[in-house]
Structure 1
Amino acid sequence: MTPAVPQLSLRAVLLSMLLAMILAAANAYLGLFAGLTIATAIPAAVVSMAVLRVLGGGSILENNIVQTGASAGSSIAAGVIFTIPALIILGFWQDFKYSWVLAIAGLGGILGVLFSVPLRRSMIVDQPLAFPEGKAAAEVLKAGENPEQGVKTLAFSGVLGALVKLSAASGLRLIPDAAIGAGYIGKFLAFMGSNLSPALLGVGYIVGLNIGIVVVSGSVVTWNIAIPFYKAFLLDGNAELSAMAAGLHAEEVAGLLWSKQLRYLGVGAMLIGGIWTLFSLRHSLISGVKSGLAAARQNSGTVVAETERDLPMKWMLIALVIFVLPLAALYQAIVHQWSVSIPMTLIMIVAGFLFVSVSAYLAGLVGSSNNPVSGITIATILFSSLILMLLLGRTSEIGPVAAIMIGAVVCCAASVGGDNLQDLKAGYMVGATPWKQQLMLAIGAFSCALVMAPVLNLLAAAYGIGTPTPEHPNPLPAPQATLMASVSKGLFGGHLPWDTIAVGALIGAATIAFDEWLKARKALFRVPVLGAAIGLYLPLELMVPIFLGGVLAHVVERRHGYVHSHTADEAERDRIHRPGTLFSAGLITGEALTGIIIAIPIVVSGRADVLALPAQFQFGQFVGLVVLAVIAGLLYRTATREARAL
């Protein structure tokens, strides 16, 4: 039965493209800053309902199309910032090449859509998986409840996030970016601190208490155990580091030991986590690919209802060839050897299809926000590096770059593939046409790719990315991209602290064993190894507000009498958290977009302090903590008051 209401209307497509580009820019900043991105479908759905209502009213299917395309903002941003900055870190690029970023992100995202089409029937219709974020988006669309109030919540919190970012160290400098204390207890270095970012508080609220505990625990291991131990017992044995640490304050010593040595604990844990992700999903991977191909063969040549009609397989295969050829040419432009670029292309196609299947399956089980795409990408880069070492030699200078290029396309495809199945789940629940959603997501993915290079260049020029330099001593950390660069460079003869990486791998293995024990006991609390690895890698002050946001989400749940389970009351949990989720999304988007806007005068003037007020107007850490506490109170008040009204 053909739906009588419009779906791919011009206004829905244009609004979706606009939201996708805005949310992609915001997630790019957030991912480089905190190593995490957030799903954007629900905020996009709320904005769409309000905007289309102003324009005369929009159908549920139009709103579904808008959230489908806009959701590409998080997936393309993740695919790009997890990998492409590694080319800057490796020194292959001095800036982000527009045409190359467009090709990698845009074509990789489109391939993710194409690869995931055969999986829809098996994972959503025949053997339906949960797809929690897709269900939540569908419920929001069905309810259509108070879109104006939702937009007011987003706008208010967005302004709050923007004002705090403008007031912080990269802007007016009214308050610092973080409140940090460090000193010595005997010969042990003590360190504690918290970033004052409302966006990180919002991230913590969205990911919840479980993930908040995991990431902050990883940071505690690095900053409160490994760094004090290294300073007390091992620093004197490293003449170079010891000389660099001489005369520095405790906080500076902690930062030095982290940047030069102990953040590689996270590299080791991520490495073992990526391998484990691939191994643990081997059965799901095989069954997912088989069922997807079987469903594609079964539907070939049959007449199906409009609500079951996917993109035609014939046109998918033609599009696949068309979109792969430019990537093959790009690989050839890197290695200048068809004998290498053709195998690179084949690896990318095979790994892309396999890992899109993995990503889609995981998105169905645990949601897109908890989908370990970084682990999938590490596995891709490891496998690609091993093949390329046979073709190019272990000392090849272009080998690490080639491996990153393969991983970047696969990462974008896997991110979009998982996201596509979430959107198709929402569409299935509201009666949408699958091929129209698939087309819209491809358009949204390419729209995001159009803005990624300018945004990354602006952020790199204003703040620096990955590697500290004299101009940018505290750059955006870009943890996943730094990891990808470290792994690929290390495999091709680079010099890395392999002893520290080995210890991190042991920590990762212990984390996996503990998580498997929890799984066997059917515990609700879990310890995903990649979450712990992010905590091991990133500064402690970034993880503390994420943890506090998770605590706040837990308090809201308890306030409403929510009792955790995996089944019956997940819809109730979503209802409880929807106002807080919207408030958090506003904090994140407002701060991230302001960070991008502030970068413009910094780059134009060439001065990091171009917006700074005189010293007499600058306040200390205590005022910053008060501001963060006030925002936490407003988040709690919004979450509890508006949830009662739903």
Structure 2
Amino acid sequence: MPQDPSESPSTADTNRTTNDHTRPGPAPTVPAGKNVAELTVKAVLIGLALNVLLLTANMYLGMRSGLTISASIPAAVISMGLFYALRYAGIGGTILENNIVQTMTSAGEALAAGVIFTIAGVTFLDQSINIVETAAVAALGGLLGVLFMIPMRRYLIVDKHEQLPYPEGTACADVLETGSEGDGGVKLISLGFFVSFIYMWLANGMAVMKTTLETAFSAGQTRGFAIGGDFTPALIGVGYIIGPRIAAYVFGGGLVAWMMLIPLLITGGFVPDQAANLTLMGQAHAVWDQYVRYIGAGAMIVGGFYAIISMAGTIRDALASAAAELSGSKSETATQIPRTQRDLSMKVVVLGALAITIALVAIPQVELGVLGGVIAVVAAFLFVAVSAYLVGVVGSSSNPVSGMAVATVLIAALAMKSTGVSDPVVVLLTASVVAIAAAVAGDTSQDLKTGYLLGATPRKQQIAQMVGIAISSVFAGWVLSFFNQAYGIGSETIPAPQAGMMALISEGVLTGSAQWGMILIGAVFAIVLIMMDVPVLPFSVGIYLPITLATPIFLGGLLRAGVDRYVDWRSDDGDGAAKERATYRGRIIAAGLITGEAIMGIVVGGIYVLGIGADEGAPYAVGLASGTQTLLGGVALVALVAVFVGGVIRDPQDT
């Protein structure tokens, strides 16, 4: 865990400053000078099996609800249980083998998000799912995501360790450490897990309560002010981990969107025709979907370019290192770099990126053409950086992959339209490569953060991620085709909202109906934020995301601030030890909250896939009235907060 700045650096910390590749940071669980089992056969086999399982569950869940679950923590928990059982056969696993399992497993979840948000959109354009095409696009996009993340790892994971918490990556490290350290931490994470598991079963399994509480209102002549939140345990846990400052930026963007922009647009008569007869809340959602999310996308485009400019030194150093390796002039050998800082060779990055660029143009099933291939690779590089930065701020659960895909669709369609391209499928496949790369990069950065805290070897994690991508890609087309044949993508069972939106935008740009004005507004807004020295990406994400996601994240940040102040007031130690212990306890319980919800997501998804529950709504709904569900949701939220805070502040010396 992170050290107090006043403490002396440990031996491991000192070791990490022996070369110019690293900066001082937290002492890892496994020191750099110690070698333990990591990328083993049993870890790879378990990781591949879980990879396919969670790929399938996430593709169904994502097309049904529009959301996917983060697989890293569930995979870590499941693998710990499997390795614990294998101990009886004398073949138990190490903490770094567990880390390899979750790294490989989460690759399937990340790739699933990119596929269902984009490639699935071809069905809305009256095209069938091409299994080979899907596999090729998924593999090439996924590998780009891993490769482009490699030269950014040291800057984002090591140099920016304090500024970018990577909530799921940190929580996953806490889970793995807790499982290997004893009963105290296990009790804390179990508390969070079971509370979250039961909470989400009551909400999504039985429809006893609503987790989403929202309202819209008018003030004078201005209509359409909207506020609310999807108060799930995982989002509150993410907010607690990232802290109040970053959570406030995300929430601030949400307030600008839902309490300023949307009321102005509704009052000004910009309600879409199809939403004219809806409730005020329904109109607010329609205006956000039709206009405001494009403002967020425009702001993220500018923020992405600004992030690239901010990382120019790192990128320049990476390219210089690549040139040195390719020319054979680099004198430093791999053995001179600490094990915990060894990445895949830059030769692999450069040659791999070139090979993928050629493949995107040359493989007949991909059909992007020269322009599409170049746009895909350049945009992938940009949005890999954006995605890797964003998930460090708001977590993978709130990573706006669809926003990056929207930006790519707009750019690609505009460029291709100027050359006479009229097929929206080509535009959609170009965006698919980028969306998959961005999703995989976000997942890879979380995994590398976990490895950084545990003392894993980055190169082995990167290899594991690539193997996971390869397996996921092979199965992705089959799974997508199966669901399309079984239910029909775009049906009531699996509406696939993001995929439908991508198809609509692809056609819209080629036919001249895209929202370029809103994108320009977002771009100008981002420039103003940069001039004011406000972190533009988290603020832009707040504009792009529904307010129902920003609010619970902010609540989690407020809980963190409140707990810290309470512990400071109650304790009389001058070194902040009590606050540090409480922060650790809170992070462990928050990791349990994230784990419980993720596991329940898999359970509910499995029930839908097996068809053993109701066809619509919650699989085992008890039939309560909407008002009763809302009331019980409010009561459950208060109880959740009380249990969480009580678990953090109770006897903080018992860690």
TM-score over 0.5 (shorter chain)? yes
Kindly provide the amino acid, as one letter, of the partner of residue 273 in structure 1.
G
Mapped partners of 1:644, 1:572: distance in 2: 7
Aligned pair 1:265/2:295, yes or no? yes
Give 1:310 deviation, angstroms: 6.0
Give 1:585 deviation, angstroms: 1.6
Gaps of 5+ in 2: 1-31, 572-576
Post-superposition Cα deviations, 1:617-642, rounded to whole Å, max 9, x if no partner, equal 98231111111221222222334448
Kindly provide the amino acid, as one letter, of the partner of residue 12 in structure 1.
A
Mapped partners of 1:360, 1:616: distance in 2: 40
Give 1:396 deviation, angstroms: 4.9
Say if 1:203 and 1:546, in contact at 8 Å, map to a contact too.
yes
Say if 1:328 and 1:345, in contact at 8 Å, map to a contact too.
yes
Mapped partners of 1:645, 1:380: distance in 2: 50
Kindly provide the amino acid, as one letter, of the partner of residue 401 in structure 1.
L
Residue aligning to 1:108:
141
Kindly provide the amino acid, as one letter, of the partner of residue 526 in structure 2.
G
User: Relative to 1, partners in 2 of residues 1:554 and 1:255: Cα closer, same or farther, differing over 3 Å?
Assistant: same
Residue aligning to 1:174:
208
Say if 2:235 and 2:549, in contact at 8 Å, map to a contact too.
yes
User: Relative to 1, partners in 2 of residues 1:549 and 1:270: Cα closer, same or farther, differing over 3 Å?
Assistant: same
SS of residue matched to 1:13: helix
Select 2:470's aligned residue among 439, 442, 446.
446
- More displaced 10-residue stretch of structure 1: 102-111 or 17-26: 17-26
Post-superposition Cα deviations, 1:49-82, rounded to whole Å, max 9, x if no partner, equal 5542442243344234334334535643554466
Mapped partners of 1:552, 1:452: distance in 2: 39
SS of residue matched to 1:439: helix
Say if 1:274 and 1:379, in contact at 8 Å, map to a contact too.
no
Residue aligning to 2:41:
10
Say if 1:86 and 1:404, in contact at 8 Å, map to a contact too.
no
Mapped partners of 1:398, 1:205: distance in 2: 41
Mapped partners of 2:530, 2:565: distance in 1: 29
Residue aligning to 1:524:
none
Aligned pair 1:341/2:366, yes or no? no
User: Relative to 1, partners in 2 of residues 1:631 and 1:512: Cα closer, same or farther, differing over 3 Å?
Assistant: same
Give runs of aligned pairs for residues 625-640 of structure 1, distance below 5 A: 625-640=634-649
Kindly provide the amino acid, as one letter, of the partner of residue 642 in structure 2.
G
User: Relative to 1, partners in 2 of residues 1:613 and 1:269: Cα closer, same or farther, differing over 3 Å?
Assistant: same
Residue aligning to 2:4:
none
Post-superposition Cα deviations, 1:394-425, rounded to whole Å, max 9, x if no partner, equal x5544532431442354356446645754664
Residue aligning to 1:528:
536
Give 1:327 deviation, angstroms: 4.5
Select 2:528's aligned residue among 510, 521, 525.
510
Kindly provide the amino acid, as one letter, of the partner of residue 509 in structure 1.
I
Say if 1:8 and 1:62, in contact at 8 Å, map to a contact too.
yes
SS of residue matched to 2:215: strand
SS of residue matched to 1:175: coil
Residue aligning to 2:320:
290
Residue aligning to 1:523:
none
Post-superposition Cα deviations, 1:353-397, rounded to whole Å, max 9, x if no partner, equal 6765x469859987975988778766755664455345434x554
Residue aligning to 1:215:
250
User: Relative to 1, partners in 2 of residues 1:177 and 1:107: Cα closer, same or farther, differing over 3 Å?
Assistant: same
Kindly provide the amino acid, as one letter, of the partner of residue 507 in structure 1.
F
Mapped partners of 2:317, 2:105: distance in 1: 30
Give runs of aligned pairs for residues 122-141 of structure 1, distance below 5 A: 130=161
- More displaced 10-residue stretch of structure 1: 109-118 or 569-578: 569-578
Mapped partners of 1:604, 1:364: distance in 2: 34
Say if 1:205 and 1:551, in contact at 8 Å, map to a contact too.
yes
Q: CA RMSD in A?
A: 5.1
Say if 1:267 and 1:483, in contact at 8 Å, map to a contact too.
no
Mapped partners of 1:642, 1:139: distance in 2: 19
Mapped partners of 1:572, 1:229: distance in 2: 46
Mapped partners of 2:419, 2:651: distance in 1: 60
Mapped partners of 2:152, 2:275: distance in 1: 54
Mapped partners of 2:380, 2:559: distance in 1: 38
User: Relative to 1, partners in 2 of residues 1:281 and 1:483: Cα closer, same or farther, differing over 3 Å?
Assistant: farther
Select 2:229's aligned residue among 182, 190, 194.
194
Residue aligning to 1:401:
428
Mapped partners of 1:493, 1:320: distance in 2: 33
Say if 2:60 and 2:609, in contact at 8 Å, map to a contact too.
no
TM-score when scaled to structure 1?
Answer: 0.73
Residue aligning to 1:553:
560
User: Relative to 1, partners in 2 of residues 1:4 and 1:192: Cα closer, same or farther, differing over 3 Å?
Assistant: closer
Mapped partners of 1:326, 1:505: distance in 2: 33
Give runs of aligned pairs for residues 414-493 of structure 1, distance below 5 A: 414-415=441-442, 418=445, 421-422=448-449, 425-426=452-453, 429=455, 432=457, 435-449=459-473, 471=492, 478=498, 488-489=506-507, 491-493=509-511
Select 2:630's aligned residue among 588, 596, 621.
621
Say if 1:385 and 1:488, in contact at 8 Å, map to a contact too.
yes
TM-score when scaled to structure 2?
Answer: 0.72
SS of residue matched to 1:631: helix
Give 1:602 deviation, angstroms: 6.9
Give 1:611 deviation, angstroms: 3.9
Mapped partners of 2:299, 2:350: distance in 1: 38
Say if 1:30 and 1:36, in contact at 8 Å, map to a contact too.
yes
SS of residue matched to 2:365: helix
Say if 1:200 and 1:588, in contact at 8 Å, map to a contact too.
no
Say if 1:32 and 1:477, in contact at 8 Å, map to a contact too.
yes
Gaps of 5+ in 1: 519-526
Kindly provide the amino acid, as one letter, of the partner of residue 245 in structure 1.
A
Aligned pair 1:76/2:111, yes or no? yes
User: Relative to 1, partners in 2 of residues 1:96 and 1:44: Cα closer, same or farther, differing over 3 Å?
Assistant: same
Mapped partners of 1:625, 1:364: distance in 2: 29
Give 1:147 deviation, angstroms: 5.8
User: Relative to 1, partners in 2 of residues 1:181 and 1:199: Cα closer, same or farther, differing over 3 Å?
Assistant: same
Give 1:589 deviation, angstroms: 0.4
Mapped partners of 1:495, 1:114: distance in 2: 35
Give 1:510 deviation, angstroms: 2.8
